[in-house]
Amino acid sequence: MVLANILRTDLHLHKPLPRESLTDASLKQLTRAHKSLVQQKVKLVNQLTVQLKSYYPVVLQIFSRPDQEITLAFLEQFPTPEKAKAVSLEELQNFFRRHHYTRPSKLLFIYESLQKPALRAPQELEEAHQIVTLSLLPVLRSLLTQIEKLENEIALAFKENPAHKIFSSLPAGGITTARLNGEVGSNRSCYPTAGYLQTDAGTAPVTRRSGKTIVVYFRWQCNKP
């Protein structure tokens, strides 16, 4: 009733929120879904890293990232340190050649690293670690595939957005600028000044004044994404 009366008596003091366009809404949904998948990928990578640290730490030394294709293929082919240690240098070279490894000069280092002893979990638990690791690999690979597909869809939707020229000129990557476009939108009337956008994004502080007392609060009510 209070809100209804405010609109009845003071409608001229208020303006309706601009409606979100379909192109903005679509881009926002895609970029938020992408962020959610990336967060799931990070959790899986962390789980895989914990397993490798426990029984197979050399993999984390010879590969820069656990979520790259060559690392996943290596773990599928050689899921235990024993299997990796038993392979010859020639067999190792053939494996990396089949997977188009881009750093052939590093192969000797990889081979020598696999032969060195390392601290690891008791051998009795190795099978359990191997089972967990092999169960994570197909899930992670599937997630990486879907993230790549979503990034392609985002690129297309971003290119078709009316504000693409403005946001693509920002000094950031394609996904970041597309996410900004999705959240901010293409209707400039939504944010007539920088202060409006800062308030919506949560970067503008909330100041309370009472007499000589001034308190500044963090702005919790905002667009979190």
CA dist 190 and 20 (Å) reads: 10
Dihedral sign, Cα of residue 117, residue 106, residue 80, residue 134: positive
> pLDDT value at position 176?
95
Calculate mean pLDDT across residues 124-145.
93
Q: Which of 137, 135, 157 is nearest to 34 (CA)?
A: 157
Whether 68 is covered by a domain: the verdict is yes
Mean pLDDT of the chain: 92
Whether 96 is covered by a domain: the verdict is yes
Cα-based torsion angle of the residue sequence 9, 15, 20, 24 in order, rounded to the nearest 10 degrees: -160
CA 167-197-27 angle, 5° bins:
45
CA 170-173-178 angle, 5° bins:
75
Q: How many residues does the chain have?
A: 225
Q: Name the residue range of residue 52's domain.
A: 21-185
Residue range 11-21, pLDDT digits in tens: 999 888 788 89
Whether 210 is covered by a domain: the verdict is no
Q: Which of 185, 181, 155 is nearest to 167 (CA)?
A: 181
Dihedral sign, Cα of residue 79, residue 93, residue 116, residue 141: negative
CA dist 132 and 140 (Å) reads: 12
The DSSP symbol for 102 reads S
> pLDDT value at position 190?
87
Whether 160 is covered by a domain: the verdict is yes
Domain count of the chain? Answer: 1
Whether 15 is covered by a domain: the verdict is no
pTM over 0.85: no
Whether 34 is covered by a domain: the verdict is yes
User: Would you place residue 91 in the very low, low, confident or very high pLDDT band (cuts 50, 70, 90)?
Assistant: very high
Whether 84 is covered by a domain: the verdict is yes
Residue range 36-84, pLDDT digits in tens: 999 999 999 999 999 999 999 999 999 999 999 999 999 999 999 999 9
